[in-house]
């Protein structure tokens, strides 16, 4: 499906809203991992299912964790939240 190009204004934080028609055509949905790159002076935006092996940047790790949480069973999520809460409490006490 070919979607007509549009012009958007970038906000002060560098954000640009991708129109719903373009997100739909690219199969992008809330919570998906989106890879932003630079190729020949142009910014590229691509939905990915997996993060590249070896990329341990904070952004890649966060995207991986967010995706993993979406796929977890509810009881696993609750257990993880409990574990994280305990760690944060310990950190605050120390």
Instruction: Answer yes or no: is 6 within a domain.
Output: no
- 29 near 23, Cβ under 8 Å? yes
Range of the domain at 58: 20-93
Instruction: Answer yes or no: is 11 within a domain.
Output: no
Domain count within the chain: 1
Q: What is the CB-side half-sphere exposure of residue 28 using CA atoms within 13 A?
A: 16
pTM comes to 0.55
Strand partners, 35: 46
Instruction: Answer yes or no: is 46 within a domain.
Output: yes
What digits encode the pLDDT tens for the residues 35-68?
899 999 999 999 987 777 777 888 888 878 888 8
- The C-alpha R_g of the chain, in whole angstroms, comes to 18
Instruction: Answer yes or no: is 24 within a domain.
Output: yes
Q: pLDDT band at 33, cuts 50/70/90?
A: confident
């Amino acid at each position: 499906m070919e979607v007509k190009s549009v012009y958007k204004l970038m906000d002060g934080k560098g954000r640009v809203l991708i129109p719903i028609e373009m997100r739909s055509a690219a199969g992008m949905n809330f919570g998906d991992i989106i890879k932003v790159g630079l190729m020949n002076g142009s910014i590229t935006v691509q939905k990915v299912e997996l993060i590249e092996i070896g990329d341990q940047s904070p952004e890649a790790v966060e995207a991986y964790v967010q995706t993993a949480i979406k796929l977890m069973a509810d009881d696993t999520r609750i257990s993880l939240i409990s574990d994280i809460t305990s760690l944060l409490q310990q950190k605050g006490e120390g």
